[in-house]
Each structure stands twice: as C-alpha cells, then as structure tokens.
Amino acid sequence: MRIQLGDASRANQLRDYFHRLGATGTVNPDATLDVAFPEGDDADVEEFLASWAAVNRVAATVVTEPAPAQAAPSSATTFEVVPRSPGDAWTPPMRLGDLLVSKGFITNEQLGEALVESRQTQELLGLVLLRKRWIFEDELARTLAQQWSIPYLNLRSVGVDIGAMRLLPAEVGMRTVSVPVRFVDGGIQVAFADPSDQGALEEVRSHLRTISVAVAELTDITMLWQQALRAAGAA
C-alpha cells in the first residue's frame, strides 16, 4: 500500500511507526511511503494509518494507483485531521502491548493471548486486558498517554467544564467513551478511554470540529455521563 502525507517531512516517522507494528516500510523519492505486513498477517494497514493520522493530526492519503509526479492520484481514500502546530514534538509510539510488558503490568504470555482474542473479537486490546482483569484502568490510561505522547487526565481531580461537555451529545460520549473536558486554544480538549479508536475519534470530530486529544480512565468517563443523564432526567 502506498501512502501520501499532507506533511511530507513526517514520512520517516510514519515508516518507523509501521516498523514497530511489524510491517515493512519504504520512503520513496517523492516522499510517499510503501507499507506492507508479512504474508499471512491480516493486519489492516488503513486502520493503523487512520489511528496514527488522527492522533498526530496529519492528513494522510492512501494512493490506490501510483500517480505521476505533480499529479493528483486518480483514486484515493483520504483521512483528514486537524494539523498540529509547527512546534509540537512527535515520538513514534511503541505498541501498547510492548509498553505494558516493559512496565511489568502483563506478561508476554498474557499479551499473546489478549492479541489473539482482540483479533478474533475485533475488540481493542486495552478492553480485552481490562475485561480479563490483567491490568487496572489507571495503568492502561497512563500507558496510552505515554504511547501517544498526549496528556493523561485524572477526571476525579481536574473535573470537567460543563459548558464544554454539553457540546457533545451524551449518547455519543457514552458510545465513544469520551468526554469534552475544557476549552483550549480555540478548540476543546476531549478525553478518550482509548485514543487509538479511530471510529470514536471520527464520531466525536463530527460534532466537535477542532479537538485536542487526551486520555482518561473508562470508568471516570462513563460515570460523568451517567451523572449528566441523571441530572437531565431530574430537571
């Protein structure tokens, strides 16, 4: 698969990201990137790309047909996200499972079992680990924050701006396990239980155009929405 980035200078960083996922990646002279997983690996390149693009806020295009220099691709799928400011740093993330093992939260055997179940059920790895009670929510949230170099928020301590929270329908917040926390830099900081969930990011962005992504614990996010729904029902 060939990928073209809106910011060509990020091609090497995206290549390193795919290398960490076990794929091969080559940056071409025109700054496009060719990516492939080993034969027999059913990993979805577009899913990983969409997740990386959303978290790092870089426009990415999957080029389905190689295009001549200076010409637009004849057919492509585009992931559009809000760009970062020029001064923002970027660090290629390690895989979540590798980080959790390196921290001693889970064993390699537990990781292997959870990865198999995650692929079979199409459930996010973090949710599988939580369901099996192999990690605590704060361990997962803090590790996700480290993985993606985004803030971890303890919502029980920092609270939320009710005005910001009301901009997202409660049913959307519950479904995506996310909650607007406060207004920042002309946008809204939104805490997600799992910022790698591309579907959740896209759904929230359809309601809040400019967001800054953070991580919080699943139970805290759910509790806030339950409290909001109870208050609305009592009004």
Average pLDDT taken over every residue of the chain: 82
Distance of CA 200 to the CA centre of its chain: 9
Convert the pLDDT of each residue in 18-52 to its tens digit.
876 778 889 999 889 999 888 877 677 777 787 67
pLDDT at site 54: 64
Whether the per-residue pLDDT at 145 is higher than 70: the answer is yes
For the chain, the first-to-last Cα distance in angstroms comes to 53
CA–CA distance, 94 with 21 (Å, rounded to integer): 8
CA–CA distance, 36 with 11 (Å, rounded to integer): 15
pLDDT at site 100: 92
Whether the per-residue pLDDT at 180 is higher than 80: the answer is yes
pLDDT at site 93: 58
Convert the pLDDT of each residue in 187-212 to its tens digit.
999 999 988 888 899 999 999 978 99
Say if CB 37 and CB 43 are below 8 A apart: yes
Q: Which structure tokens are listed for 119?
A: 């692929």
DSSP per-residue codes, 80-109 = --PPPPTT----PPPPHHHHHHHTTSS-HH
Mean of the pLDDT values across residues 161-188?
A: 94
pLDDT range class, residue 79, cuts 50, 70, 90: very low
CA–CA distance, 23 with 42 (Å, rounded to integer): 11
**Residue partners of 12: CB distance under 8 A and separation at least 6:** 27
Beta strands in the chain (DSSP E): 2-5, 24-27, 33-36, 60-63, 76-79, 178-184, 187-192, 211-215
Mean of the pLDDT values across residues 122-133?
A: 91
pLDDT range class, residue 64, cuts 50, 70, 90: low
- Count of helices and strands (H, E) across the chain: 11, 8
Say if CB 192 and CB 126 are below 8 A apart: no
Convert the pLDDT of each residue in 86-99 to its tens digit.
333 334 457 888 88
